[in-house]
Amino acid sequence: MNTIICIGREFGSGGHEIGLRLSESLSIPFYDKLLVSMVAEEGEFARKYLEEMDEKVNVHIAPFLATRSTYSLYSQPVSDKIFFRQADIIRSLADQGPCVFVGRCADYILEQRPNLLRVFLSGNLEDRVNRKQAMGLEFAEADMTKHVQATDRKRARYYRHYTGRIWGDRKNYDLCINTSLLGIEGSVSLICQAVKFKESHTQ
């Protein structure tokens, strides 16, 4: 097993759970919110602030791309500083071996690596709203629907800003899965099959 799995996901499509189960099934590390903790441990930003800024962007005139090699830490918005530090951590973790990343433009940051499998998860809006309500988030159904849609817009804006690409566009991924159709277990099974197929054809 040498594949690095990067998961993009619509809010409520089960990305965290699927990533965690892939980690368990394949016995490889899993990174989602842990990436925020890793940045916080460096001490430059408070953990609470990092959680509030997670996958958010301060929009300014020209987007920074993840491959940009020179930039000024003094002129950057804080969201850019956080992004580039997190990108460095993602690269470092990928250097250590196969793992699962959820969100945070990891598919773009690592796109030059041949052992990458880029996955995007989507689902019917009603199913995604129901999944989040079942998790105990305190929103009325109408408000939860707005919250799910707003989070999708936030993620799309973040991805566009740092990659110059359209979030969820099938051209940017190797595998697109509707979790409303396959569910959590079916999605995990399909991704595992894709990993097995990819590795058997790249040796």
pLDDT tens digit sequence for 165-175: 999 999 999 99
Domain ranges for the chain: 4-200
Per-residue pLDDT, averaged over 152-172, amounts to 96
* Max CA pair span of the chain: 51
pLDDT tens digit sequence for 36-51: 888 888 877 777 877 8
Indicate the pLDDT class of residue 70, thresholds 50, 70 and 90: very low
Cβ atoms of residues 166 and 160 within 8 Å: yes
What sections of 27-105 are H helices per DSSP? 34-41, 47-53, 78-95
pLDDT tens digit sequence for 184-203: 999 999 999 999 999 998 76
pLDDT tens digit sequence for 1-41: 789 999 999 999 999 999 999 999 999 999 998 888 888 88
Query: CA distances (Å), 169 to each of 41, 74, 104, in order?
Result: 34, 33, 16
Query: CA distances (Å), 3 to each of 110, 195, 203, in order?
Result: 12, 7, 12
Look up the pTM and report it: 0.87
Spatial CA neighbour of 159 closest among 44, 1, 10: 10
C-alpha torsion 91→119→162→87, nearest 10? -20
Query: CA distances (Å), 87 to each of 174, 195, 197, in order?
Result: 21, 23, 28
Tell me how crowded residue 196 is: count the other CB atoms within 10 A of its CB. Answer: 13
- Going by C-beta distance under 8 Å and a sequence separation of 6 or more, which residues neighbour residue 164? 63, 65
Spatial CA neighbour of 194 closest among 179, 180, 174: 174
Q: Could you tell me the CATH superfamily of domain 4-200?
A: P-loop containing nucleotide triphosphate hydrolases (3.40.50.300)
119 phi/psi in degrees, rounded to 5: -120, 140
Residue 86 scores a pLDDT above 80? yes
User: Which has more confidence, 167 or 78?
Assistant: 167
Cβ atoms of residues 101 and 5 within 8 Å: yes
